[in-house]
Structure 1
Amino acid sequence: MSAQPSRPGVSAVAVGASAGGVEALIRLLSALPADWPAALLVVLHLPRDRPSLLVDLFAPRCALRVVEAIDKEPIVPGTAYIAPPDYHFLVEAGEAGEPPHAALSVDDFVQYSRPSIDVLFESAADVFGPRLAGVILTGANDDGAAGLRAVRRAGGVGLVQDPDEAHASAMPIASRDAGADFVLPLAGIVHWLQSQHEAVSP
């Protein structure tokens, strides 16, 4: 694993988090500019029996547009799409000349979760291939490890929060052990994401 992460040309970044993820996501999302050149796709494990307040929490702190994912909504750069509670969030390819779009599913739980990080990462890897980055943040289960392997098999890059600084280390450890290109503190992941903006800026 290199200590000098750099990879231009990313069109989408899929992010998975669980326990402690709200605070980590606030730090990550708030650091990105409004004209960031990729889409951000987020699964945060939430209680299934009540509405999510994540958009209300994140949007005032972010230059990025922050929305809850809606079925068939186009996925475009400069927007963070948050998985709604109790739905798997997937990415589907668009028709010729059209952008990919979000898809929501009530299929069975994966890793005891719906939404599942694995489901998002695997579907996004199918659509974006080497133009995808997968990011695993703090969490207390194994969701995301299989998904990160799928991202890397498709030629994308996998980043994992350093388990030693994560609020809950189980998910970063599982994803690190499954194979990751970079294991970084959250500040390092933020720097890597910011570098995608710099890679395409004049």
Structure 2
Amino acid sequence: MSLIENLPDGFNWPVIVVLHRLKNVNSELVKLLAGVKNGRRVCEPEDKTQLRDKYIYLAPQNYHVLLEADKTISLDYSEPVHFSRPSIDVTFEAAAHVYGNKAAGILLSGANNDGAYGLEQIWRAGGSVAVQDPETCEYAAMPLAAIHRIREVLILQPAVLALFLENLLLNK
């Protein structure tokens, strides 16, 4: 939430948030994120939603989020990846494929390996990648898996993650 709250001024790109959530439990997460949106709209996308600047898209429970070449979101109900649907790997891999070196991924605290492979795909496409410093994580497995896969991944303290995004703005 603090990362969204501290998105830099001028950071107008769409943001996709993929969290592992229970699939059959009502969630108030969209409302919580909307409370810290920092001038951005927060929504759970539907299939074929057009990506728009200054929007934060929260992956719906129990659906993978894919990005299409026409800059739309596709929702997918295929098998879980790393026991997760939505899978961070699936979204990161799609971002690498569609956006190439313009893609960016940040992998935060988590208890499995989901996200490491997808983050590596963003890096291989020339995109920008960072992980939360494992020493600051409640569950360090996800950032550690990415650190083991990607030599040049940035390992950042939570307070510095917004600066990573600000740096993207300066170098676009």
2:89 is the counterpart of 1:129: no
Residue of structure 2 in register with 1:61 after alignment: 36
**Match 1:160 to one of 131, 151, 157:** 131
Gaps of 5+ in 1: 1-25, 95-99
Report the 3-state secondary structure (helix = DSSP H, G, I; strand = E; otherwise coil) of the residue aligned with 2:56.
strand
Residue of structure 2 in register with 1:74 after alignment: 50
Structure 1 residues 199 and 145, CA, compared in 2 at 3 Å: closer, same or farther?
closer
Q: Distance in 2 between matches of 1:70 and 1:86?
A: 13
Q: Distance in 2 between matches of 1:120 and 1:76?
A: 17
Residue of structure 2 in register with 1:92 after alignment: 68
Residue of structure 2 in register with 1:183 after alignment: 155
Task: Kindly indicate whether the alpha-carbon contact (under 8 Å) linking 1:35 and 1:78 is maintained by their aligned counterparts in 2.
Answer: no
Task: Kindly tell me the number of residue pairs found equivalent between the two proteins.
Answer: 170
Residue of structure 2 in register with 1:31 after alignment: 6
Q: Distance in 2 between matches of 1:71 and 1:35?
A: 28
Report the 3-state secondary structure (helix = DSSP H, G, I; strand = E; otherwise coil) of the residue aligned with 2:50.
coil
Report the 3-state secondary structure (helix = DSSP H, G, I; strand = E; otherwise coil) of the residue aligned with 1:126.
helix
Structure 1 residues 152 and 197, CA, compared in 2 at 3 Å: closer, same or farther?
closer
Report the 3-state secondary structure (helix = DSSP H, G, I; strand = E; otherwise coil) of the residue aligned with 1:46.
coil
Residue of structure 2 in register with 1:171 after alignment: 142
**Match 1:192 to one of 154, 160, 164:** 164
User: TM-score when scaled to structure 1?
Assistant: 0.80
Calculate the aligned-residue CA RMSD, in Å.
1.5
User: TM-score when scaled to structure 2?
Assistant: 0.93
| One-letter amino acid of the counterpart of residue 28, structure 1 | L
Identity among equivalent positions (%) equals 39
| One-letter amino acid of the counterpart of residue 84, structure 1 | P
2:83 is the counterpart of 1:108: no
**Match 1:148 to one of 119, 126, 129:** 119
Deviation digits for residues 132-164 of structure 1 (CA, Å, limit 9, x no counterpart): 011100001000111011111111111011000
Deviation digits for residues 153-180 of structure 1 (CA, Å, limit 9, x no counterpart): 1111110110001111111101111114
Using CA pairs under 8 Å that are at least 6 residues apart, name the structure with larger relative contact order, 1 or 2: 1
